[in-house]
């Protein structure tokens, strides 16, 4: 596992989230989230891009991330009108993270796809509770994160951590066949 690259990618995602907060007052600031997230992940892992023309891989990742972002927002707000409540934010965070992981897997292959997808889904499900806690905490964790838009920053940090862990996890995979004797192939 390449800890330095995981930390570097997560740090770039964190800085992207803080840049989003700074540019929030801009009219087109909603384009910043998918753009910065895609650039943070693809540029910090430039050498691992599986497409021969790496610049094309970055442009593909960037354009598909923007489309994915709008699909996620549309699905989340459409479901919130029908379902309501806070459960829709959990679904929206997980839906966006899973789609971003699938998209990233096209140009930056995840080493152990299913376990990486499970980790990414897990960290995306805790984004909303953490963002709500930061928003409602009586003690100042970070004054810059007090607004409701902190969900984007928390999501970018945790999903960036999950994606980078999936990309750089080089440990041998211990699957069901080695841990459960009933699933071993008997010849």
pLDDT tens across 160-183, in order? 999 999 998 776 655 544 444 444
pTM of the predicted protein model? 0.82
pLDDT at residue 59 in the model: 94
- Tens digit of each residue's pLDDT (9 = 90 or more) over 29-73: 777 888 999 999 999 999 999 888 999 999 999 999 999 999 988
pLDDT at residue 177 in the model: 42
Mean pLDDT of the chain: 83
Cα dihedral value 133, 136, 141, 146, nearest 10: 110
Flag the least confident range among 18-22, 24-28, 70-74, 165-169: 24-28
pLDDT at residue 58 in the model: 93
Instruction: Give how far the C-alpha of residue 133 lies from the chain's centroid of Cα atoms, to the nearest Å.
Output: 20
Contacts of 24 (CB under 8 A, 6+ apart): 149
Q: Tell me which of 56 and 144 has the higher pLDDT.
A: 56
**What's the rounded Cα separation, in Å, for the pair 75 and 58?**
25
pLDDT at residue 172 in the model: 64
pLDDT at residue 112 in the model: 87
Q: What is the share, in percent, of the chain residues with pLDDT greater than 70?
A: 83
pLDDT at residue 174 in the model: 55
């Amino acid at each position: 596992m390449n800890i330095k690259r995981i930390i570097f990618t997560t740090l770039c995602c964190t800085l992207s989230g803080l840049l989003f907060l700074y540019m929030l007052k801009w009219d087109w600031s909603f384009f910043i989230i998918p753009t910065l997230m895609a650039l943070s992940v693809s540029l910090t892992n430039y050498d691992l891009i599986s497409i021969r023309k790496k610049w094309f891989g970055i442009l593909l990742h960037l354009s598909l991330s923007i489309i994915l972002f709008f699909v996620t927002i549309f699905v989340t707000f459409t479901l919130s009108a029908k379902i309501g409540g806070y459960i829709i934010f959990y679904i929206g965070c997980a839906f966006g993270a899973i789609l971003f992981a699938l998209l990233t897997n096209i140009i930056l292959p995840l080493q152990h796809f299913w376990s990486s997808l499970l980790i990414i889904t897990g960290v995306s499900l805790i984004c909303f509770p953490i963002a709500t806690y930061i928003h409602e905490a009586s003690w100042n964790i970070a004054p810059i994160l007090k607004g409701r838009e902190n969900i984007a920053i928390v999501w970018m940090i945790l999903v960036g951590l999950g994606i980078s862990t999936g990309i750089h996890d080089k440990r041998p995979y211990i699957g069901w066949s080695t841990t459960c004797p009933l699933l071993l192939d008997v010849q």
